[in-house]
Structure formats: C-alpha cells, structure tokens
C-alpha cells in the first residue's frame, strides 16, 4: 500500500546519489552530513556503480561488458532467461544490491540511522533506463513493448524492496527515481511520446509502496511533471527555478502536502565560485516570493521544502573538492534560511 510522507521538509538537506568519490568511507561520511542522508553511487569506483548498470543486476538477458564499458540486452538471452525470471518474479532476493553492484549500500544499512529525520535511496527511472539501454543491435529497448513492460515492473520491485530495507533503519525512509532522460520524451525525434510515458509512469508510481519521489536535473514539461502522482519532486532549481515557479500547478502541488527538493547550490566549480549563502538565499527567496504573490502561504513552502545541491557532478578538475564544499554550503544555507523563517 502506498505510504504518504510522514515527516515535514522544514528546509532539511539531502543530495543526489551520484558522487565523484573513489573512497567508500569518505563518500559515506559526506552523505551522512546531510539532514536526510542517502547511500552514494560511485561510478568512478566501478563501472557496475553506473546508475544504468547498477540497477540491471538480475534482469533477464542483460550483458555487462566491463572492459568496453558497454551494457545491452541480448534478445536471444532475454527469451532464454525470461521463464526462469518469471518463476522467481516475486522473490525479493532478485531486487537487492550485491556488493559488486554497490560497495556502499550494505555499509549504509549496517549503520544506526534511526535518529535522522528520514533516509533516502534512489534507483534510475524506467523511462530513462529504457531509453538508454539497447538491444544487441543498438535499438533502445523502449521500442520493445515486452522488454519495456518488464523494465517498468522490475524497477518498481527494486524501489519497493529498497524502501522496505531502508524502513528497517528509519521509518520515514523514501526512495526516489532518477529521471535524467525524461525531457527527451517531449522531442519530436523520440518515438516514445510523453502521452505513453505519462500513462506508464502513472501506473508505475501507483504500485510504489512508500512515498513516491522523482528527481531530475534537466528541463521537461513542468505541467507534465507536476501532474504525475508523485509526493516528492527534486529538481535543479538553480538553473530552472525561476521558470518552474511560474506554473500554477506548483502551488497546487505544495498545498496538497507534497514536497519539493530545491536543488539550489551549484556543484560546477565556475558557478559555485560565484555564490555564497546570501546570494543563494536571495535566489531561492525570489522564487518563493513569486509563489506567495500567487497566494501560497510561506509556511506551506518552507514546511514542504528540502534543500539540495543543484546537480550531481563527475566533471570538475578538482574531483571531489567542489562537490564536498557544495554539500557544506547546502547545510549552511539551510541554517541561514531556517533562522530567517524561525524554523
């Protein structure tokens, strides 16, 4: 049964799952600095921790070529593996993460996480996954109805199993799906259109047991996004917040008690070096003032908001330094804004 949010945002901090670290302990220490910690994904440590690869463990027909950093679904192997998979489809053991596919997840679950406001997990969205993963001929499996349907079911089960495992550590746990490819369904070049995506995502989220979250760094159609049956939306507010708050559905979304994670602190060195607590607070409050002018109470905004870095980042020349500083700045920003609004 779907579980609603049972905690307030109150400008608490979290962050996206992908981190540039190659040291498991350091990455986990940084993640645990957030009000709502998460288990990090470390693609620089292992190809198996790439978010598209990590989630495909135990999927029928999957071929992972670590040497050439390639993953695909072999159609013949898929048909061969499918009956055995379907016999075990309801076995939770199919949907966890082995150490090979995540060096961090088991460590995270071994910790006492009960004192945190919440804890968070993440899995790649079935839309982004099926647009990215191809068959042996290079054709995205989004165009194979049987494979795509199984991907949606498979990821839904992955989310639910992870949610149950995290709830054993913290009863306020949630898992969001990461959807970097969602914006492409609005392209005329994509044969999998937004109408089909909306129907299938609605059914997907309808089967999620815990709070239903979606994270993305790109720019989809905001009306589409806000009309999905989700409880938590995480987005790049630094880049797109000024546009996002002009949509009427934002007000409705928050008034329903849903939550927004405002990705407000940049992680790219050039952008990060231009900002500080006060500049980012002003940027954030300008967005919120627009919502207030449209009739939304500021207490609703702050109560139903989290703060986060704007994006994941594996590209900085300084590797982990700017990302770690952005995590610190998110927490400083949270303290600053909480004081302003007496939270």
Q: Is residue 210 part of a domain?
A: yes
Pairwise CA distance, residues 176 & 187, whole Å: 24
Pairing of strands 62-65, 70-73: antiparallel
Residues 101-105: contacts with CB within 8 Å, 24+ apart?
A: 101/48, 101/49, 101/53, 101/54, 101/57, 102/39, 102/41, 102/48, 102/49, 102/54, 103/24, 103/42, 103/45, 103/46, 103/49, 104/24, 104/27, 104/28, 104/39, 104/40, 104/41, 104/42, 105/39
Q: Is residue 119 part of a domain?
A: yes
CATH number at residue 246: 3.20.20.210
User: Which whole number is the average pLDDT over 187-204?
Assistant: 88
Residue pLDDT, tens place only, 305-337:
999 999 999 999 999 999 999 999 999 999 999
Q: Is residue 73 part of a domain?
A: no
User: Which whole number is the average pLDDT over 175-183?
Assistant: 93
Domain with 228 in it: 12-41+105-340
Q: Is residue 120 part of a domain?
A: yes
Total structural domains within the chain: 1
Pairwise CA distance, residues 89 & 94, whole Å: 8
Stated pTM of the model = 0.96
Q: Is residue 59 part of a domain?
A: no
User: Which whole number is the average pLDDT over 63-79?
Assistant: 97
Residue 2: per-residue pLDDT: 59
Q: Is residue 4 part of a domain?
A: no
Q: How confident is the model at residue 5 (pLDDT cuts 50, 70, 90)?
A: confident
Residue pLDDT, tens place only, 110-123:
999 999 999 999 99
Which candidate, 271, 284, 196, places its Cα nearest to that of 237? 284
DSSP lists the bridge partners of residue 124 as: 178
Residue 192: per-residue pLDDT: 87
Provide the 8-state DSSP code for 114. T
- Backbone angles phi and psi of 14, in degrees to 5: -150, -170
User: Which whole number is the average pLDDT over 142-153?
Assistant: 97
Q: Is residue 70 part of a domain?
A: no
Q: Is a pLDDT exceeding 50 seen at residue 1?
A: no
71 neighbors 52 (Cβ within 8 angstroms):
yes
127 neighbors 185 (Cβ within 8 angstroms):
yes
User: Which whole number is the average pLDDT over 232-245?
Assistant: 97
Q: What angle do CA 165, 230, 73 make, to 5 degrees?
A: 65
pLDDT over 70, % of the chain: 99
Q: How confident is the model at residue 3 (pLDDT cuts 50, 70, 90)?
A: low
User: Which whole number is the average pLDDT over 125-151?
Assistant: 97
Q: Is residue 111 part of a domain?
A: yes
Separation in Å, CA 121 to CA 29, 30, 254, 297: 16, 15, 22, 30
**DSSP line for 149-216:** HHHHHHHHHHHHHHHHHHHTT-TT-EEEEE-TTGGGGGSTT-SS-HHHHHHHHHHHHHT-SS-EEEEE
Q: Is a pLDDT exceeding 80 seen at residue 86?
A: yes
Question: What is the chain's mean pLDDT, rounded?
Answer: 96
Pairwise CA distance, residues 165 & 218, whole Å: 29
């Amino acid at each position: 049964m779907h579980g609603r949010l049972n905690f307030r945002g109150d400008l608490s901090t979290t962050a996206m799952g992908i981190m540039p670290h190659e040291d498991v302990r350091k990455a986990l220490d940084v993640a645990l600095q957030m009000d709502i910690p998460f288990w990090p994904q470390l693609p620089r440590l292992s190809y198996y921790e790439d978010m598209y690869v990590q989630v495909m463990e135990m999927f029928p027909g999957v071929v992972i070529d670590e040497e050439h950093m390639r993953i695909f679904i072999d159609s013949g192997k898929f048909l061969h593996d499918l009956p055995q998979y379907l016999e075990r489809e309801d076995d939770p053991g199919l949907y966890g993460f082995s150490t090979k596919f995540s060096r961090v997840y088991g460590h995270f679950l071994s910790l006492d996480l009960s004192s945190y406001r919440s804890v968070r997990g993440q899995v790649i969205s079935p839309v982004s996954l099926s647009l990215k993963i191809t068959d042996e001929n290079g054709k995205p499996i989004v165009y194979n109805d049987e494979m795509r349907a199984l991907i949606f079911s498979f990821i839904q089960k992955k989310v639910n199993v992870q949610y149950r495992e995290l709830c054993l550590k913290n009863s306020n746990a949630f898992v969001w799906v990461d959807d970097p490819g969602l914006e492409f369904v609005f392209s005329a070049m994509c044969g999998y259109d937004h109408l089909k995506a909306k129907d299938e995502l609605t059914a997907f989220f309808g089967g999620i047991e815990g709070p239903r979250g979606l994270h993305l760094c790109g720019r989809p159609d905001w009306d589409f996004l806000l009309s999905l049956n989700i409880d938590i939306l995480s987005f790049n507010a630094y880049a797109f917040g000024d546009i996002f708050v002009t949509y009427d559905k934002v007000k409705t979304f928050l008034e329903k008690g849903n939550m927004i994670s405002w990705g407000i602190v940049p992680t790219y060195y050039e952008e990060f070096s231009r900002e500080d607590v006060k500049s980012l607070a002003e940027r954030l409050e300008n967005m919120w003032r627009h919502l207030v002018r449209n009739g939304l109470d500021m207490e609703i905004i702050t109560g139903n908001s989290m703060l986060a870095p704007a994006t994941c980042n594996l590209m900085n020349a300084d590797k982990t330094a700017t990302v770690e500083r952005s995590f610190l700045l998110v927490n400083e920003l949270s303290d600053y804004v909480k004081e302003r609004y007496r939270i």
